[in-house]
Amino acid sequence: MREEIQGELVVFSLDAQRYGLPLPSVSRVVRVVAITPLSEAPPIVLGAIDLEGAVTPVVGMRARCGHAARDVRLSDHLIITSTGRRTVALLVDETHGVISPAPGASVDAEEILPDLEFIAGAVKFDDGLILIHDLGRLLSLDEEAAVERALASASSEQSP
């Protein structure tokens, strides 16, 4: 069983569902920019962006969370975060700011449904739940390895 979710959360949405990420893992939120496709990336990775000189993979959160695919919109946001192993940009529909859950308002993922793959838990609010992502499990080990190969391949293609 995981510990109660504590601390501030960055809230984002996909369609009408709200999700949260621990604030300390988020470095910033930016408007969407051009995403360069990576030919060998896993399907969950939409491509990469240049983030202050660093090639950063972009994870499609709609696909990761089971939402219907759609084209990228100019109103979309990128949440720059760390999975613990790498910096990634999460493509989301919208961000809503930072919240501080009240003590006792969180529910562990195991209490919702055992083996929820990417969810650490939920926070209850009067207007509904915010599902909290477990960034450590955002990419599987196979996906992580595929991202490494895709980034290496893209890097070697751009070298003279």
Instruction: Give pLDDT, residue 136.
Output: 84
User: What's the pTM?
Assistant: 0.87
Any idea of the CA torsion for 48, 138, 74, 150, to the nearest 10 degrees? 20
Beta bridge partners of 28: 80
Predicted confidence (pLDDT) at residue 78 exceeds the cutoff of 50 = yes
Q: What confidence tier does 33 reach under pLDDT thresholds 50, 70, 90? A: very high
Domains of the chain, CATH where assigned: 9-154 (2.40.50.180)
Mean pLDDT over each residue of the chain, to the nearest integer: 85
